[in-house]
Chains A and B, each alone.
Chain A
Amino acid sequence: ETGVTQTPRHLVMGMTNKKSLKCEQHLGHNAMYWYKQSAKKPLELMFVYSLEERVENNSVPSRFSPECPNSSHLFLHLHTLQPEDSALYLCASSLMRGNEQFFGPGTRLTVL
């Protein structure tokens, strides 16, 4: 596979569930990002990892927990989410922070 991939593409979960979103990049990049895209709202940056170190946590609630085990993989662990967390979650990567970002196709999350 090439580019940035995300799994699953769609996820429906209850408020008490625990799930994880996975992102993988095959571009040799060193920075990875999680974004939230809600209807009628701009793209919101959630987390930034550079060389596997978290460098940005944009006041995201603790029910979202990121993990970056290596420069190619990024996870977003979800627990006790709220219905307002329903959105498209996009992963992106860039060669270094500040360079152009390449986005994955996203995970459409619905919280019931």
Chain B
Amino acid sequence: QQPVQSPQAVILREGEDAVINCSSSKALYSVHWYRQKHGEAPVFLMILLKGGEQKGHDKISASFNEKKQQSSLYLTASQLSYSGTYFCGTESGRGSTLGRLYFGRGTQLTVWP
């Protein structure tokens, strides 16, 4: 039930773009994205709900294709502060599994000046 994230690691120069993918073998209700910097707690970025939506704030956006059970996180014009490990968490439904997130292994993003 654990989603698969790709790539495992990305190295960028400041100002470059990156895409991180998250795919599941199960039907999804929602996808949650988090970023964790070394030695810190994961920080919430955004939730995408069933219905195939896109969201974004600042230069970070995401899409959710429920038919393909995939979500992608887009980071444009990357900044040094974007460095960290990005995790997707997937939720397969409401009811008893509400709030039960399965997390991917993470994508380590490094931005160099």
Contacts from A to B (Cβ < 8 Å): 4, 31, 33, 40-45, 48, 50, 55-56, 58, 90, 94, 96-106
Contacts and interface: CB of A to CB of B under 8 A. Distances in A.
Nearest to A108: B39
Given A42-B87, A42-B103, A101-B32, A55 B47 contact: no
Interface string B19-58: 0000000000010101000001111100100000000000
Chain B interface size, under 10 / 10 to 19 / 20 to 34 / 35 or more:
20 to 34
B99 A48 contact: yes
Contacts of B81: none
Contacts of B44: 100-102
Contacts of A106: 41
Interface string B76-113: 00000000000101010010101111111110000000
Contacts of A96: 99
Contact of B106 (A42, A98, A103): A42
